[in-house]
Amino acid sequence: MQHQVFFQDLGIRSYKEIWDYQEQLLKENVLAKSSVSNTELLPNTTNHLLFVEHTPVYTLGKSGKKEHVLIDEASMQEKGIEYFHINRGGDITFHGLQQIVGYPILDLDKFKPDLGWYLRSLEEVIILTMAQYGIVAGRSKGETGVWIDADIPGKERKICAMGIKCSRWITMHGFAFNVNTNLDYFSYIVPCGIQNKQVTSMQKELGYEVNFTEVKQRVKQNFETVFASTLLSYNG
């Protein structure tokens, strides 16, 4: 079965604006599910994939530890970095320019109601994309996201962080894939709350600035493959 997913590339936006937009789409889908009393009927939910580049921001997940933020609020303001304690899983991460942030708002009842499957599928989208650039990436046992050299102690490098929220099998939040991201921002936090492991980007791994638009297109294509879906572009 081929799923239809509405796609929007929102460009450069502030974090709070798109967080609110995700919450709106989630609420609409949850209400659509609540209005169906017959369990044999499929609710009229809609699937979405949002791409965005955020202006510099740190986000701390609901179970994250504030001590993993190594910079005070005054210094954040001085550097133009916003900060939000949010309702996804996971710990502290950074979003910024030249990073593909993807927010799938999917009704997993229409795909597969299994969060483990969903997270592994998101990881697979990024792993396939990196393989197209000759980068061998994979998973790290017990640590969600996409890694390089995950099984070589001292060389582990995370290139894509993930954190989600799910309500009635409707997802929000998603992944942050470092393409040409300024990695200096990660030095002010303990990324994802994981000590003694590095953060990397496609640019750092390849040694040159990567065509950002091309990478986005390849992520979209791999999303369609992994999630057996067709992306329908629209402007909202």
CA distance 20 to 15: 9
Choice among 57, 137, 192, 199 that is catalytic:
192
Contacts (Cβ under 8 Å, ≥6 apart) of 9: 51, 52, 216, 233
CA distance 151 to 84: 32
Indicate if the alpha-carbon torsion angle 150, 153, 155, 158 is positive or negative: positive
Which residue pairs from 120-123 have beta carbons closer than 8 angstroms and sit at least 24 positions apart in sequence?
121/226, 121/227, 122/162, 122/174, 122/175, 123/160, 123/162
Active site residue 192: yes
Catalytically annotated residues: 192
